[in-house]
Structure 1
Amino acid sequence: MAHVAANQQMAEVERSRYTYVQHADAASHKGHKVICRETTDTRVTPTTTGSGRQLLTLDGSLWLNGRYTRYTHPLTADLKPGESREITLKNDEDVDVNLVEHMRDNLTNTQAKDGFHAGLFPLTAKAQTGYQYAIVKREPMNGRDTWLIHFKPKDNSEFDWEGDAWIDTAAYQPVFVRTHLSRGVPFLVKTMLGTNVPGLGFAVTYAPQPDGVWFPVTFGTEFKIHVLFFFSREIAIDVQNRDFQKTHSDARILDSATTE
């Protein structure tokens, strides 16, 4: 795992040389009915210290007054001078929009060059200090020979991530990682606050680019949320990184003769 951590660090540096489009589909469901869904395309431009994000398109749909209403701009973002809302929401009509937009932003709108929240997958050297790992078996995954490794927090009392990582046996890079909460929400919290998030977990797929740099290419989660005993939703988020473009710069060294 130390080898994996070192490769993760090197890959993160290499990812700063790429720009890409992040396609996200986020939705809230009440039973079988979709209440709110947003599909977005965002241009991600990594830098040496983080990443910049530019929203390219948004296609939103909200169940409102017995029908679906379409919109093309974030409904929870601050308005700029001269802008107006496509839809004016009132009372509790913005709850699902807030859930969808905030969950998507919290999981993807980070300073990570990967486009996903780095804290969800404990593969870096810093994260590994709090985890224990065990090789389960060797098996193929996504067309590659991998070690299946199970991980969990060293401290059983911690609320953190537990899961499985399929590690490429040659490149020592993750091919697929899935996580879930190592412990459920305490019964006292559920009883006192009426809050629960059963099934919370995440999955990410990695693949190498033509020059050998490994990048996360898909990310997904689907879970339920129960708040204050009367509000219940299923949240689903599917993200794809695509249209990778490697940035470059050209430089020339001029001698004194050419500059005179």
Structure 2
Amino acid sequence: MAMLIAAFAVAIGGLIWGSFTKGGVGLYADLLSDQVVLRVLWRTVWISALTTLFCVVLAYPLALFLARSKHRNLWLILVISPWLVSIVVRTFGWMVLLGNRGVVNMTLRDLGLIDAPIRMLFTPTAVLIGLTHVFLPFVVIAILSSLLQQDRRLEEASRILGGTRWQTFRRVTLPLSMPGVIGGASLVLLMATGAIVTPLLLGGLRDRMLGTQIYTEIFQVFNFERATAMAVMLLVVALVLVAPLRLLEARIRQTQEGV
């Protein structure tokens, strides 16, 4: 653990130091005054937030089903099976599905629901779909772990005392599983802010996120100073987004342990 922390600290310290020695404060001022960069930054924030929300909403019922299922291991294998395939392959699969002549548009046209193809590829919607598909298993596992650690006798006590299934879920199961929910959400939020492959392939060059903008600055423009400053901005944005969730999780754990 000490080695991992030390390597991380050295890498991040070198990144921050390099951004100030090569570009200085003026570089950050130019970035913050650039409307294109600000739009990319805002797009990164709201796409990451929506991806996290969609993952939590979809993952919770799935994790609850897995926790109650007798064939949990089998279903869990199906949930994590996308990890056996490269993220590039999965993203290309979504390109095939969402293209103008893809499966979705062709199906809608054959059903008579549309006359012309709906533009879904190279849009923020496509990025949201792709990122949700990529990160959903992480949230499922985080929530499932929290659900499996719960004492089932608490739910039985709630039912014996006259609580309905909804009341038991709302007052017992959901509050006790919140650390897993927040932990999974924090993980997805961090990964979504720095995603590159999925936004690049599904969003194209017009609807860029900050990760893809950094990629462009390095491999197409060869502006390493600007890319370094953007990387520091991405780090700050990720910390600002995740810090409240981590504080909330710590507060919930303290409350549960106190009870």
Taking structure 2 as the reference length, the TM-score comes to 0.28
Specify which structure has the higher proportion of helix.
2
Taking structure 1 as the reference length, the TM-score comes to 0.28
Higher relative contact order (CA 8 A, sep 6+): 2
